[in-house]
Amino acid sequence: KETGWYGAGGNTATCTLQGFFFFMGIGTAMYQFTLSLQMLLLVTFMWTPKKFERLLEYKLHAFIGVSAVVVSCFPLFFGGYKPQCGMCDAA
């Protein structure tokens, strides 16, 4: 409709919302890295789960949460989410 794509079912607001949640998905990759790091430290370097929790876990949760929100909000504030090739993405 507003996007100019044939058969589009949404408008600019729904495209922006889709792009925002698409970029929030960067947190998924970061959590996968955290799980891999945890296994590396527990198995290879003989860390205990308590040591990982005490030294890294909460810091990594905060970093991932803040990073995902910042990366998703940056195009939001500057109107960067635009329909491209049938998908709403950052332009």
> Could you list the pLDDT tens digit for every one of the 91 residues in the chain?
465 667 667 777 888 888 899 899 999 999 999 999 999 999 999 999 999 999 999 999 999 999 999 999 999 888 888 777 667 877 7
- Residue 24 gets the label, from left (phi > 0), alpha (psi -120 to 50) or beta, of alpha
Query: Global pTM?
Result: 0.80
Distance CA 15, CA 9 (A): 10
